[in-house]
Structure 1
């Protein structure tokens, strides 16, 4: 009645105030409303609301509203599990569920072939933790995996889910962090740093694709999310589930020794067989087009699948258009001025880029050294393959997914949603498309070059190659349609590629363990990498030899000390890198010695030196 009286007495020219009073009268039950919502709904300015507040029509009160990074994810808020588990999944779930209920700080290694339904086991186990009035933390290795994983978790647990990863804005991270800290979210999904989420009363920690090197942070502070998870497990008295189709050798060895409990999923959840995998020997095959990237059999297979309205995933773990520029006259290669690495051609931005420091410069038309115009751009990348596909298969709709196409916020989800809605026939990308993705219509997976990681000077290059090929093979034939995988390689006889063809993890594990044993590498030895950097190469080398002498003086004879030696890329961001690798089985003096080196590093900084210590490095390059 009061508002009706106000409306009758207001002057006829105050149209916006009349509109506001009418809305209050007609929509009274839906008040209080948010100021911005009223402004948008009635198309009025904030000054009208301010006048109304001064006249006593409203009481203005501040209300905190969280930014919601999950607003684009539809949620049915279905608490109960909708998928029936098979006997292997049930056995795994019962073992994990028992540990949750008994508050055991136990570690499980869930080893299951691709498509065996590991995610369903995770979701059921999280349900058990929530029923026990406890919280759950789930890590995934890549932001690109987060959209699909978040969608599944969100559909199961609704608004109880918070998400943490580097793709969020600072405001979203801040709000999600506070939601978790205030106990308003019971399930946290995120990438590596989410292991530090301020979650209390944790009942379960899940690390999906636990073999992934992205769980290891390679710059300060150096840590492995798995190690932090094991510490939090002891603190909260809860189990940790490490899941993978290709577990890291260290985790598999610990399961063999009984330190972890091994849970096996040997068959696909939908009873479908694994996809047929063909190796294409690039030394003998005929190429389609003139770029020597795509073989005739692979292009024919792609055309066949597109004609059937099926989808294709293509993997090339190298972004850009061409790996380097070469002058055919004098042999000059265009390098980064800050790093000892050649610049990569990026055709979409029309620039030469350094993938280490981000340096960019214009594409040269003449050789900077001899002014010759006989320059060529050699090597390949995702951009060049996309261009070639568009020429060879003009009817194909192609989406590219690499660092260059996913810089913008939400771009991962946008690309994956488009592909899921069949707005494209081919998803071409780097390793970010190799794992975790589940598209029922994908029946062909092609690997453009399986050798990209094989030739890296790293002790675990074979393991990374096997993991990547096995993971990407698992993207094919995940639903009713039969899957096929085609792997192009110059090394078809290499054991990592040969065993990935059959997804034979056990045989690979045995073979790789022999190789590691002969080379005195993890998991038979612990490793510590000491890196010394300086703008002056001589200073870095001199300090490295000082540290080497100290180590040799203090550590016992059985400890292996390799180096000092320049890094495989000796200069990055105008800093020269020298490395020392310590390999040991038992070395009680090392811990204190490393602390002393770290303390001395504070003084070394004044001389322009930086010293970094990395325990159990993922990369020794």
Structure 2
């Protein structure tokens, strides 16, 4: 029996800590088990990552106890954590901690739920049989099933237009995996926003399906984790954290809507679930399917350069054409219809027709609130959050100005805080203003809003979508949550308000995000027997992201975007690492950013360093923020480990926080 163990802790310290075994532990120490240890006079949960017979460290502390009878992590999961540690510039303990439910992180082994809530929260689940695939679907399935049969690790990029039946491909491929006695993982961008996807898998596979999502109680999530661990559940549907489901016999991993930014974790470890899934598939010799109507530029580039295997669905499963898209130039609307510029005449007429024909509409605007800022016409002052360098958004329901970053609230001022004039005016448009405008234009029509303000209660997503399905609602106004995974046969109109809202953001992905959102939300129209129509309102109709989304032309968009990325040297032609420096003292933040940049310039070879410069949101929750962007060329010898060593040796001032984000989604 070993005499010592090495333990990883959930701390931003890239080292493991040695402890002595006493022989009186409750359970036998093994790799992957949790232990209680004393660390700097407090009891912490650690993870055993090595067993040792000897130690060269004096006065090694004894462990307090071994928590688990069986290991929480198998050897493949420990190997995956090592990869995450090295690639995403974090500690091994941070990587392991991200892989398990909150209850296990606290050192518990059991949890009882006081609320007996239904797991799937959908009273219309019924058992469903596989549909007969069309020719395109059948060819795709043959390729995937052949790979499953060979237990080969291949990465498929399934590029299928909206409504082409990608979900049916996932279902039939997963059925093939289950028939082989193996298990599978389906990742979706945000499970609480896509109950229809859950419904599809539960309808096909019943109690074999385990579900994770952010609105579930901790105890319910833990019970699902235990069902997977015991082998009772063999298919997991969930958001990014579901990639760590405790299977030991994975046969397939699917990442639906692989382009979605929500697959990137914003806190340490800042992993991307797509890339972790690919690595996990490699360890288990399992195929990985990346599915999207609008694949990320990086993924599609890997597919056409044969790093991934490209499979395509070019037609809707119903054999109907994609809906026609009409672009409305709001500059003309603004010039000719004073005071009516939120809903264009074209969109107003289209909604009237939909209501008359007893059909339904989705109206999309990717901004919450009523007005996006409050400013003074006389002196130009804009009311900003005192803790964040961002304008505060007016919410009419609470009659308050709200910071969307830190939730700081104030009552709207009646006079300008700067010049005391009464010339303060509300500017910009959000979901609340669009909803109010539609209620005014269409009295008596059932209109509901779907954004994070209205969807905060548990079960609220399912309720509004069930009401919409039963046609108790005629129009839903919503943010990007209505762009994902919704399939309602009576939706014949999709309206996009302020389509160019994100185009001018200081981010090289702004065009890609605009194209993706318009294409995805447009795909919600005309999915049933009735034809659909999409109306896109914009002030920049000539922009290629907008006019190519109107043509459903992903390939032309990809070519144009790839050329722009090539000229600028951005991914996929380089890798990016964003270094964020934060401090409550502005001068200290800037000084440390300059010093750290000098260290990178001295020690990193063949890289381009952009900055240091204030971050796009230069102050957040009371912290000043500066960015350094390291652009690593494909041929560069610099690695993430090199960056990690520099960060570990950098002598920063007390109160300064430095974090690294590898392959950042937000700049």
Shift of 1:288: 6.5
From 590, 596, 602, the equivalent of 1:553 is 602
How far apart, in 2, do the equivalents of 1:392 and 1:71 lie? Answer: 35
From 330, 341, 344, the equivalent of 1:295 is 344
Say whether residues 1:262 and 2:310 are aligned partners.
Answer: yes
SS, match of residue 283 in structure 1: helix
Q: For the pair shown, which has the larger CA radius of gyration, 1 or 2?
A: 1
How far apart, in 2, do the equivalents of 1:592 and 1:534 lie? Answer: 25
Shift of 1:538: 1.1
Partner deviation per Cα, 1:330-356 (whole Å, 9 max, x = no partner): 332211010111110011112110011
**Structure 1 residues 539, 229: closer, same or farther in 2, change over 3 A?**
same
- Cross-structure match for 1:274: 322
* 8 Å Cα contact 2:366/2:480 also seen in 1: yes
Say whether residues 1:244 and 2:285 are aligned partners.
Answer: no
- Cross-structure match for 2:186: 138
How far apart, in 2, do the equivalents of 1:422 and 1:400 lie? Answer: 15
- Cross-structure match for 2:654: 607
Partner deviation per Cα, 1:90-140 (whole Å, 9 max, x = no partner): 111111111111111111000011110000000000100010111110011
How far apart, in 2, do the equivalents of 1:203 and 1:106 lie? Answer: 11
- Cross-structure match for 2:220: 172
Shift of 1:591: 2.8
Partner deviation per Cα, 1:454-509 (whole Å, 9 max, x = no partner): 11110011111111111111100011101100000111111111110111011111
Shift of 1:290: 2.5
How far apart, in 2, do the equivalents of 1:613 and 1:402 lie? Answer: 31
From 474, 480, 490, the equivalent of 1:431 is 480
Shift of 1:414: 1.0
- Cross-structure match for 1:405: 454
Larger relative helix fraction: 1
- Cross-structure match for 2:268: 220
How far apart, in 1, do the equivalents of 2:527 and 2:338 lie? Answer: 31
How far apart, in 1, do the equivalents of 2:234 and 2:512 lie? Answer: 35
**Structure 1 residues 595, 192: closer, same or farther in 2, change over 3 A?**
same
- Cross-structure match for 1:103: 151
Shift of 1:592: 3.3
Deviates more, 1:543-552 or 1:444-453: 543-552
How far apart, in 2, do the equivalents of 1:331 and 1:353 lie? Answer: 20
- Cross-structure match for 1:355: 404
- Cross-structure match for 1:75: 125
**Structure 1 residues 289, 308: closer, same or farther in 2, change over 3 A?**
farther
How far apart, in 1, do the equivalents of 2:194 and 2:228 lie? Answer: 18
How far apart, in 1, do the equivalents of 2:111 and 2:303 lie? Answer: 51
Structure 1 segment 298-447 matched on structure 2, within 5 A: 298-447=347-496
Structure 1 segment 545-584 matched on structure 2, within 5 A: 545-556=594-605, 558-584=606-632
SS, match of residue 303 in structure 1: helix
SS, match of residue 406 in structure 1: coil
Shift of 1:423: 0.7
* 8 Å Cα contact 1:366/1:373 also seen in 2: yes
**Structure 1 residues 104, 451: closer, same or farther in 2, change over 3 A?**
same
- Cross-structure match for 2:528: 479
Partner deviation per Cα, 1:202-247 (whole Å, 9 max, x = no partner): 1110000001111111222200001110111012111100000011
**Structure 1 residues 289, 271: closer, same or farther in 2, change over 3 A?**
farther
SS, match of residue 498 in structure 2: coil
**Structure 1 residues 153, 73: closer, same or farther in 2, change over 3 A?**
farther
Task: Give the TM-score normalised by the residue count of structure 2.
Answer: 0.81
How far apart, in 2, do the equivalents of 1:597 and 1:180 lie? Answer: 40
SS, match of residue 332 in structure 2: coil
Shift of 1:370: 3.4
* 8 Å Cα contact 1:288/1:299 also seen in 2: no
* 8 Å Cα contact 1:466/1:497 also seen in 2: yes
- Cross-structure match for 1:115: 163
Say whether residues 1:211 and 2:259 are aligned partners.
Answer: yes
Partner deviation per Cα, 1:439-468 (whole Å, 9 max, x = no partner): 000000000111011111100111111111
* 8 Å Cα contact 2:302/2:308 also seen in 1: yes
How far apart, in 1, do the equivalents of 2:396 and 2:646 lie? Answer: 45
How far apart, in 2, do the equivalents of 1:138 and 1:496 lie? Answer: 29
How far apart, in 1, do the equivalents of 2:121 and 2:266 lie? Answer: 32
Shift of 1:291: 5.1
**Structure 1 residues 339, 64: closer, same or farther in 2, change over 3 A?**
closer
- Cross-structure match for 2:61: none
Partner deviation per Cα, 1:518-561 (whole Å, 9 max, x = no partner): 011000111111111111111111111111111111223x4211
* 8 Å Cα contact 1:97/1:125 also seen in 2: yes
**Structure 1 residues 63, 232: closer, same or farther in 2, change over 3 A?**
closer
Shift of 1:182: 1.4
Shift of 1:64: 8.2
How far apart, in 1, do the equivalents of 2:451 and 2:401 lie? Answer: 17
From 127, 132, 136, the equivalent of 2:175 is 127
**Structure 1 residues 85, 360: closer, same or farther in 2, change over 3 A?**
same
* 8 Å Cα contact 1:532/1:611 also seen in 2: yes
- Cross-structure match for 1:231: 279
How far apart, in 2, do the equivalents of 1:600 and 1:218 lie? Answer: 24
* 8 Å Cα contact 1:531/1:613 also seen in 2: yes
Shift of 1:416: 1.1
How far apart, in 1, do the equivalents of 2:267 and 2:234 lie? Answer: 30
From 613, 616, 620, the equivalent of 2:663 is 616
- Cross-structure match for 1:12: none
* 8 Å Cα contact 1:67/1:171 also seen in 2: no
Deviates more, 1:564-573 or 1:368-377: 368-377
How far apart, in 1, do the equivalents of 2:373 and 2:194 lie? Answer: 33
Say what the alpha-carbon RMSD is for the aligned residues.
Answer: 1.8
Partner deviation per Cα, 1:261-286 (whole Å, 9 max, x = no partner): 11110111001011011000001126
Partner deviation per Cα, 1:356-394 (whole Å, 9 max, x = no partner): 111111222232333333321111100011001111111
Deviates more, 1:168-177 or 1:385-394: 168-177
